[in-house]
């Protein structure tokens, strides 16, 4: 083959050894390398051969003690086959000469097999091209050294680079190959020790697109890749299609030394421009193959001078480039220095030892070589050559793809654990990308404008309700207030005030109060709303229940007791809830949302809510009680829908109010659950329902009464007992009517008037007062009659006119008292009826007639001409007069004011 022909030209196989220098002590070294090209890669042996020859040439120019020895490199072809490599190794060891060391090794499987058996052969191996991380296990490979750093040596540099930019969440994308899997395992362990989260560790065999898609689904921003250049083209093609590049993402990949590796897109359906677009800005990490320092090394040359000589030799022979040539050059120097040191020690022993015929054992020589290798340290063309437990401490180089080419931006020294930037790292955005989607927690709160507006409306409603309460208390003895029970009306208004105050308390969230205050408000809300509803709906329910029972059984239940019983049930539930399982503040987080302004962060709304361990149980108890009360109250309102009791109560408006409260309560509960995750909508809905429900209830109950009061403003504060009695009697005389013209059973009957006990007491007291007034008028009449005995005073016309006016006034008063007395009284007032029977007894009537007839006869004779001025006594027979006419006995009936 062509490469091997070049090797023949170099004279590699002309002798069993590749040696330089004459007259120097030879040091046999076994060089195991493959001579055939490995699939997918060039022949490393041919590519590094110029570097090895150059190192041997430079060694021959060195002074003693290095100049006293020459390296005899005996070449063995491993062919990258385990069986053939082992056979070749055993043949070389059998046929000799006695080798001091093993040099080389490329194929990981062959290198690991031979290195594992070196301890028994008392040999030490130095490799310059095997980077497998498994060979760093010194328990398994104690006699293995290498000048090329392990693939995993870049991992500490990667971790240091991540920490520099504050990235604490990354993901790995690895090709399913043992070489890359070992690097990933070591990296994950280092990330764990550095408190960097590995969000995902994906691996692929052929098509990486599914793995890249998983990384995107996990919202991964920083991706660390371990794959070869051929797979890299596929990876970045997938990244381009999935939009996993640009200012939001950062790729960290290995360094590949092939020129323009991204141009081979034959295995993908992307163009070179697509791959370059996705690759732009990515960071490549690799070991430093040639030092950038200008310091002259052990050979007396700078790395740049060495590179020029190597390139000259390589091009002269027409050989390819290998990134391992510098490590091969420094490897030759390591072997030479270590063996030279051992040889010098052995020669010193042989010269000064008393027992000169005592030879050193092979094991002892092998141990001396191992120690010399471990202590070797110098500055070579690849930088500082130093071993730590057989591993080369190298320098990690960071490069960035900028405008389609690699630009070195920094380096990491493992020995000093220091990251130094040599160029500007360019990012697509104004700042480095975030390692995750930054989540900004946003409280879902109530709009301050909505809260202020509804609070103002609520305060106005509370002021109006307070004014109504003042009117109720001030006019509590007015007949329209007394009939509708001012005490229950006051409870309705107080319940409405509590419900109104719930709006103000409900709008206070965590943005306005502290967490402790918010937790206290949780319990306050439940108490206010529950008790406020009961105090508003309870009196309405009690009145409707009272009317319903009276219509059926003619028995009036105690309305106050009914309200207290309903309220007692609420208090028992609330007290048990507060003591056994109080409400606590809980933060409920929702799914993240994209920033509406397109910025590189997400918004995660959270909601503050009140919750207890057994919240559903307590809510079930409260809802069950309220539901039963609402349905039963609405049923009673429906049953009493056609009953109207004018003047004595406002049953029609009460029924409407109960239906209004029931419908609004159910509507409010449903809307509150539907808007549970939207506090602004929930607050507005709850506030409007409470305002509408309570305001309409107060309007239905009290606006009709205020209209009645408005007809005579003085009645609200100045209403005499006499006027109260007249008003009540005029209302009592009205018949209970049916306000519906339907042909139903309930509309075809006339309902009786249910009168409450307070109404009966008022009517009875008024009746007794009127009877007492009638007695007083009787006494006044008797006094006036006695005054009429003085007839002289009536002889003058002026006196007669005054006397007639007095009689007319007395008569009108008597007429009023008689009408008052003759009103029909309600059933059950038997004591008042007995008193009236005594007053209207025949004896008292005869007495009134005996007193009133002469007075009225005398008073009216002047107007009809039956008495002239000469008459002196009204009790005497009337004087003869032409105007006097006799009246038939059948017409002699006088209607008095009784």
* Residues 6 or more apart whose Cβ sits within 8 Å of residue 892: none
Residue 738, Cβ neighbours under 10 Å: how many? 16
Please give the structure tokens belonging to residue 253. Answer: 């990949």
Residue 25 phi, psi (nearest 5): -70, 125
Q: Determine contact, residues 540/492, Cβ cutoff 8 Å.
A: yes
**Whole-number Å distance between alpha carbons of 519 and 611:** 10
User: Comparing 267 with 39, which gets the higher pLDDT?
Assistant: 267
For 380, the enclosing helix (H) or strand (E) is strand 377-380
Coil/strand/helix, residue 170: strand
Least confident interval from 74-88, 199-213, 248-262, 779-793:
779-793
DSSP letters of 748-783?
A: SSPPP----HHHHHHHHHHHHHHHHHHHHHHHHHHH
Contacts 24+ apart (CB under 8 A), 93-101: 93/30, 93/121, 97/28, 98/28, 99/28, 99/29, 99/30, 99/74, 99/123, 100/27, 100/28, 100/29, 100/339, 100/342, 100/365, 100/369, 101/29, 101/30, 101/125, 101/126, 101/335, 101/338, 101/339, 101/369
Highest mean pLDDT among 403-407, 460-464, 868-872: 460-464
User: How many distinct helices (H) and strands (E) make up the chain?
Assistant: 25, 20
In which band, very low, low, confident or very high, does the pLDDT at 761 lie, cut at 50, 70 and 90? low
**Whole-number Å distance between alpha carbons of 652 and 637:** 9
Q: In what order do the strands lie in the sheet with 283-287?
A: 197-204, 169-175, 222-226, 250-254, 283-287, 395-402, 405-413, 418-421
∠825-828-833 over CA atoms, to 5°? 55
Evaluate whether 25-148+302-351+360-386 and 442-713 have a shared fold: no
Query: Does the pLDDT value for residue 733 go beyond 70?
Result: no
Q: Determine contact, residues 218/199, Cβ cutoff 8 Å.
A: yes
User: Comparing 713 with 258, which gets the higher pLDDT?
Assistant: 258
Taking phi over 0 as left and psi of -120 to 50 as alpha, with beta for the rest, 228 belongs to beta
∠533-453-538 over CA atoms, to 5°? 10
* Residues 6 or more apart whose Cβ sits within 8 Å of residue 295: 302, 379
**Whole-number Å distance between alpha carbons of 256 and 653:** 89
Please give the structure tokens belonging to residue 321. Answer: 């480039």
Annotation: CATH topology of 442-713:
Rhopdopsin 7-helix transmembrane proteins (1.20.1070)
Nearest to 104 by CA among 83, 131, 130, 72: 130
Strands 69-77 and 101-104: unpaired
**Whole-number Å distance between alpha carbons of 305 and 289:** 15
Annotation: CATH topology of 25-148+302-351+360-386:
Rossmann fold (3.40.50)
Q: What is the value of pTM for the model shown?
A: 0.59
Q: Determine contact, residues 302/308, Cβ cutoff 8 Å.
A: no
* Residues 6 or more apart whose Cβ sits within 8 Å of residue 631: 662
Residue 78 exposed, middle or buried by CB count within 10 Å (0-12, 13-18, 19+) = buried
Residue 768 exposed, middle or buried by CB count within 10 Å (0-12, 13-18, 19+) = middle
Q: Can you list the alpha helix ranges (DSSP code H) found in 122-247?
A: 154-164, 178-193, 209-217, 229-241
Residue 600's pLDDT is what? Answer: 67
DSSP-assigned beta bridge partners for residue 606: 443, 589
Q: Determine contact, residues 114/107, Cβ cutoff 8 Å.
A: no
Coil/strand/helix, residue 888: coil
Q: Return the beta strands (E) in 786-891 as ranges.
A: none
Helix axes 757-787, 721-732, angle to 10 degrees: 120
Residue 6 phi, psi (nearest 5): -65, -40
Tell the residue number behind the tokens 């385990």, with chain if given.
Answer: 82
Q: Determine contact, residues 494/486, Cβ cutoff 8 Å.
A: no
Query: Does the pLDDT value for residue 748 go beyond 70?
Result: no
In which band, very low, low, confident or very high, does the pLDDT at 291 lie, cut at 50, 70 and 90? confident
Residue 812's pLDDT is what? Answer: 47
- What's the whole-number mean pLDDT along residues 554-573? 84
Residue 445 phi, psi (nearest 5): -125, 170
pLDDT tens for residues 481-498?
655 467 888 888 999 999
pLDDT tens for residues 279-290?
999 999 988 888
Could you give the maximum distance between any two Cα atoms of the chain, in Å?
199
Least confident interval from 84-88, 100-104, 499-503, 878-882:
878-882
Residue 525 exposed, middle or buried by CB count within 10 Å (0-12, 13-18, 19+) = middle
Question: What count of residues does the chain have?
Answer: 898
**If you classify domain 153-294+398-436 with CATH, what class do you get?**
alpha beta
Query: Does the pLDDT value for residue 179 go beyond 90?
Result: no
**Whole-number Å distance between alpha carbons of 414 and 710:** 97
Query: Does the pLDDT value for residue 461 go beyond 80?
Result: yes
Least confident interval from 104-113, 384-393, 434-443:
434-443
In which band, very low, low, confident or very high, does the pLDDT at 459 lie, cut at 50, 70 and 90? very high
Coil/strand/helix, residue 99: coil
Strands 405-413 and 377-380: unpaired
Please give the structure tokens belonging to residue 78. Answer: 């491993």
Helix axes 44-60, 303-317, angle to 10 degrees: 120
**Whole-number Å distance between alpha carbons of 253 and 229:** 10
Query: Does the pLDDT value for residue 815 go beyond 90?
Result: no
Helix axes 303-317, 325-352, angle to 10 degrees: 110
**Whole-number Å distance between alpha carbons of 730 and 544:** 25
Please give the structure tokens belonging to residue 1. Answer: 């083959």
Residue 743's pLDDT is what? Answer: 37
| CA 855 to each of CA 296, 876, 879: distance values in angstroms, whole numbers, following the listed order | 157, 12, 16
Highest mean pLDDT among 239-243, 352-356, 359-363: 239-243
- The ranges assigned to domains in the chain are 25-148+302-351+360-386, 153-294+398-436, 442-713
Tell the residue number behind the tokens 């107060």, with chain if given.
Answer: 698
Least confident interval from 61-75, 797-811, 842-856, 873-887:
873-887
CA 601 to chain centre: 16
DSSP letters of 653-679?
A: HHHHHHHHHHHHHHHHHHHHHHTTT-H
Torsion angle defined by CA atoms of residues 191, 197, 199 and 203, in that order, rounded to the nearest 10 degrees: 10
**Whole-number Å distance between alpha carbons of 505 and 62:** 93
Strands 222-226 and 250-254: parallel
Query: Does the pLDDT value for residue 598 go beyond 70?
Result: no
Per-chain mean pLDDT for the chain? 77
Residue 17's pLDDT is what? Answer: 46
**Whole-number Å distance between alpha carbons of 881 and 616:** 103
Q: Report the percent of the chain where pLDDT is more than 90.
A: 25
Residue 13's pLDDT is what? Answer: 39
**SS3 readout for 148-166:** CCCHHHHHHHHHHHHHHCC
Gap between the terminal Cα atoms of the chain: 153
Least confident interval from 219-233, 405-419, 546-560:
546-560
Q: Determine contact, residues 179/186, Cβ cutoff 8 Å.
A: no
User: Comparing 648 with 531, which gets the higher pLDDT?
Assistant: 531
């Amino acid at each position: 083959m062509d490469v091997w022909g070049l090797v023949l030209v170099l004279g590699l196989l002309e002798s069993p050894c590749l040696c330089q220098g004459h007259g120097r002590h030879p040091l046999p070294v076994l060089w195991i390398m493959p001579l055939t090209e490995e699939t997918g890669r060039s022949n490393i042996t041919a590519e590094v051969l110029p570097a090895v020859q150059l190192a041997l040439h430079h060694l021959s120019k060195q002074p003693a003690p290095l100049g006293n020895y020459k390296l005899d490199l005996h070449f063995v072809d491993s062919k990258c086959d385990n069986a053939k490599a082992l056979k070749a190794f055993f043949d070389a060891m059998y046929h000799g000469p006695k080798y001091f060391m093993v040099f080389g090794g490329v194929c990981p499987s062959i290198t690991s097999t031979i290195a594992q058996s070196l301890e028994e052969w008392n040999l030490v191996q130095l490799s310059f091209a095997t980077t497998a991380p498994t060979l760093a296990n010194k328990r398994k490979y104690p006699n293995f050294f290498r000048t090329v750093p392990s693939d995993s040596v870049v991992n500490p540099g990667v971790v240091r680079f991540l920490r520099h930019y504050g990235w604490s969440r990354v993901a790995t994308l690895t090709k399913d190959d043992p070489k890359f899997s070992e690097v990933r395992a070591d990296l994950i362990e280092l990330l764990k020790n550095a408190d960097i989260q590995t969000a995902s560790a994906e691996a692929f065999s052929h098509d990486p697109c599914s793995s890249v898609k998983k990384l995107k689904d996990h919202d991964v921003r920083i991706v660390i890749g371990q794959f070869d250049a051929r797979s890299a083209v596929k990876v970045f093609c997938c990244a381009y299609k999935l939009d996993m590049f640009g200012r939001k993402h950062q790729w960290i990949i290995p360094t590949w030394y092939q020129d323009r590796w991204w141009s081979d897109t034959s295995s993908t359906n992307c163009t070179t421009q697509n791959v370059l677009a996705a690759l732009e800005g990515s960071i490549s990490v690799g070991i430093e193959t040639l030092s950038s320092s200008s310091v002259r090394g052990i050979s007396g040359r700078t790395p740049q001078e060495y590179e020029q000589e190597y390139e000259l030799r390589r091009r002269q022979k027409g050989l390819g480039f290998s990134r391992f040539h510098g490590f091969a050059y420094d490897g030759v120097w390591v072997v030479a220095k270590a063996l030279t040191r051992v040889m010098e020690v052995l020669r010193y022993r042989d010269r000064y030892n008393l027992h000169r015929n005592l030879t050193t054992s092979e094991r002892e020589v092998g141990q001396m070589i191992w120690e010399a290798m471990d202590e070797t340290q110098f500055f070579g063309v690849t930088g500082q050559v130093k071993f730590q437990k057989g591993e080369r401490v190298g320098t990690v180089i960071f490069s960035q793809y900028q405008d389609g080419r690699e630009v070195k931006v920094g380096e990491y020294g493992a020995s000093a654990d220091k990251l130094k930037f040599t160029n500007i790292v360019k990012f697509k955005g104004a700042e480095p990308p975030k390692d995750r989607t930054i989540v900004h927690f946003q409280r879902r709160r109530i709009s301050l404008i909505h809260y202020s507006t509804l609070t103002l409306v609520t305060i106005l409603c509370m002021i109006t309700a307070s004014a109504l309460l003042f009117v109720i208390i001030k006019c509590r003895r007015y007949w329209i207030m007394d009939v509708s029970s001012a005490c229950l009306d006051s409870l309705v208004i107080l319940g409405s005030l509590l419900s109104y105050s719930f709006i103000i308390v409900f709008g206070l969230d965590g943005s306005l109060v502290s967490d402790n205050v918010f937790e206290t408000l949780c319990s306050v809300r439940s108490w206010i709303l529950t008790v406020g509803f009961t105090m508003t709906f309870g009196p309405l329910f009690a009145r409707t229940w009272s009317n319903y029972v009276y219509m059926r059984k003619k028995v009036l239940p105690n309305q106050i007791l009914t309200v207290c019983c309903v309220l007692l049930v609420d208090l028992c539930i609330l007290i048990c809830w507060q003591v056994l399982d109080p409400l606590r503040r809980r933060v409920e987080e929702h799914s993240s949302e994209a920033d509406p302004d397109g910025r590189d962060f997400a918004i995660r709304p959270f909601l503050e809510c009140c919750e207890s361990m057994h919240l559903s149980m307590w809510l079930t108890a409260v809802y069950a009680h309220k539901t039963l009360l609402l349905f039963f109250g609405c049923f009673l309102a429906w049953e009493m829908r056609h009953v109207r009791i004018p003047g004595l109560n406002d049953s029609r408006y009460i029924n409407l109010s109960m239906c209004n409260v029931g419908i609004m309560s159910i509507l409010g509960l449903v809307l509150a659950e539907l808007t549970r995750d939207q506090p602004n909508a929930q607050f507005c809905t709850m506030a409007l329902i409470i305002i509408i429900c309570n305001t309409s209830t107060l309007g239905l109950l009290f606006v009709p009464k205020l209209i009645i009061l408005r007809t005579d403003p003085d009645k609200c504060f100045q209403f005499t007992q006499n006027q109260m009695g007249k008003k009540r009697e005029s209302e009592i005389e009205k018949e209970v009517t049916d306000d519906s013209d339907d042909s139903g059973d309930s509309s075809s009957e006339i309902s009786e008037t249910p009168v409450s006990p307070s109404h009966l007491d008022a009517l009875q007291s008024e009746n007794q007062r009127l009877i007492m007034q009638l007695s007083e008028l009787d006494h006044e009449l008797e006094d006036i009659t006695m005054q009429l005995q003085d007839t002289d005073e009536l002889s003058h016309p002026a006196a007669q006119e005054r006397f007639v006016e007095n009689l007319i006034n007395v008569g009108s008063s008597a007429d009023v008292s008689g009408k008052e007395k003759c009103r029909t009284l309600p059933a059950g007032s038997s004591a008042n009826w007995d008193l009236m029977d005594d007053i209207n007894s025949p004896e008292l009537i005869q007495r009134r007639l005996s007193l009133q007839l002469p007075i009225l006869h005398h008073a009216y004779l002047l107007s009809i001409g039956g008495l002239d001025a000469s008459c002196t006594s009204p009790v005497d027979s009337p004087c003869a007069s032409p105007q006097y006419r006799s009246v038939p006995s059948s017409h002699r009936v006088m209607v008095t004011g009784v």
